[in-house]
Amino acid sequence: MTAAPSTGLPGSSLFEVAWDDRSPFAAGLVTGQQAVLEQQPGASVYHLDVALSDDMTTVHGREEVRYTNTEDVPLDSVVFRLFPNLTGGSIAVSGLTVNGQPVEPIYSLEDSVMTVPLSEPLQPGQQAVLAMDFDVVVPTDPETSNYGTFASFDDVLALAHFYPMIAVYDDEGWNVEIAPPEGDVVYADSGYYLTRITLPDEQVLVASGVTLDESRKDGQQVVTVAAGPARDFYLAASDAYQVVSQQVGETTINSYAPRSLQRGSGEVLDIAAAAMRSYEDHVGPYPYTEMDLVSTATSALGVEYPGIMALTSR
C-alpha cells in the first residue's frame, strides 16, 4: 500500500525533522543497506522525548508517531500496546491527540491495550499523527519483570518495550492478545525511531541506533539517537558501565559491563566479532553500523533487540 502525502498533518513538535525525512537514519546503516530507506514508505515514524529520573526507576516521556494505514481496509481506530502494565511496572498515558484533536482512549486486557478511536475511518494509504505523554514506573525486582528485561536493579536500568507501541494489524485484525510470560512479549512492525533521552550525567547510556547529538548541563546529559528500520527501541544505562570495542567492516561492536566483569566483557566482544564475520560470510551482511552487547540483570542468558543484545551479568 502506497502512503498518501502527509500534507495537512501536524509536524513534529519534538524535532525539526519532517516525517518523511529519513536522512537521520542513514548513519546507522552500512552502505550496502541504506537503500532500505527508500522502501516501506508506510512504516511508522516514532519521535520520542524521554527523561529518566535520578534514581532510574521512573520515566516521563512524550511520544509523537505518524501512522500510515498500510492495510486494504479502512480503520476506525489505532491500537497501542502498553507492555509495562503486563511486566511488573506501570505506564499511564495522558494528553492523547489525533492530528491535534483530543481523544479519549479505551483500555482493555489489564490496561495493556489502548484503543484510540478515530473521528473518521483512516482509509488505505492515509496517515495520522498520534501524540501523547506517558509516565512509566520501572520494577526493581528482575524476577517479576519479563526476565529482567524491563527493570532497574543492581545499578542497571534496562528499558525494553517501555513506551506506547502500535500493535500489529494482521489477517485477524489488531493483534492484542496477552503473550505468554515465557519469551518475547513484543510483536511489532518495523519502524523508525528518533529519540531524545535526558538522564543523569554520570550514567553511561546504551541505546538502539546511533548517537546524533549529545550535550551536558547542570548534572544532566541529553542524547539524541536514531534507529531504523527497527522492530522496537531499547535502552540500558548504568553508572558502572565501561566499554571495549572492535571494528568489523563498517560495524563497531561495543561491549558494556561493570569493571568487575571486564574480563568477561572482552571475551564477549571477541566472540561477537568472530560470530559476525562468520555470519557475514555464510548468511549475509549485518545491516547496522553499531552492535552493542550490554550486561544487565536479565535472568535469561541473553535477549536480542535491534542493534543490541542484553546479556546476563550473573
For residue 139, give the amino acid letter. Answer: P
Q: What pLDDT does 1 receive? A: 54
Q: What pLDDT does 123 receive? A: 98
> What's the burial of 2, exposed, middle or buried (CB within 10 Å: 0-12/13-18/19+)?
exposed
Taking every pair of Cα atoms in the chain, the longest distance, rounded to a whole number of angstroms, is 58
Q: What pLDDT does 42 receive? A: 97
**Is the pLDDT confidence value at 275 over 50?**
yes
**Is the pLDDT confidence value at 2 over 80?**
no
Per domain, the residue ranges of the chain are 23-238
Of 76, 121, 128, the closest CA to residue 99 belongs to 128
DSSP 106-150: EEETTTTEEEEEEEEEE-TT-EEEEEEEEEEE--S-GGGSTTTTE
The residues that bridge with 116 in the sheet, in sequence order, are 78
Q: How are beta strands 113-122 and 127-137 bridged, if at all?
A: unpaired
Q: Is 231 helix (H, G, I), strand (E, B) or coil?
A: coil
Q: What is the pLDDT of residues 179-198, one digit of tens each?
A: 877 778 899 999 999 999 99
Task: Provide the grid cell at 65.
Answer: 508517531
The answer to whether 189 and 211 have CB atoms below 8 angstroms apart is no
Split at pLDDT 50, 70, 90, the class of 7 is low
Split at pLDDT 50, 70, 90, the class of 5 is very low
Rounded CA Rg of the chain: 19
Q: What pLDDT does 260 receive? A: 92
Mean pLDDT of the chain: 95
Q: Is 74 helix (H, G, I), strand (E, B) or coil?
A: coil
**What residues contact residue 201 under an 8 Å CB cut-off, 6+ apart?**
216, 219, 220, 221
* Range name among 36-50, 74-88, 185-199, 299-313 with the lowest pLDDT average: 299-313
Q: What pLDDT does 8 receive? A: 83
Of 182, 52, 46, 179, the closest CA to residue 113 belongs to 179
Q: What is the pLDDT of residues 115-174, one digit of tens each?
A: 999 999 999 999 999 999 999 999 998 776 667 899 999 999 999 999 999 999 999 999
Name the CATH code of domain 23-238 (choices 3.90.550.10, 3.30.565.10, 2.60.40.1730, 3.50.50.60).
2.60.40.1730
What is the arithmetic mean of pLDDT over 194-209? Answer: 98
Say if pTM beats, i.e. exceeds, 0.75. yes
**Quick one: what percent of the chain has pLDDT higher than 70?**
96
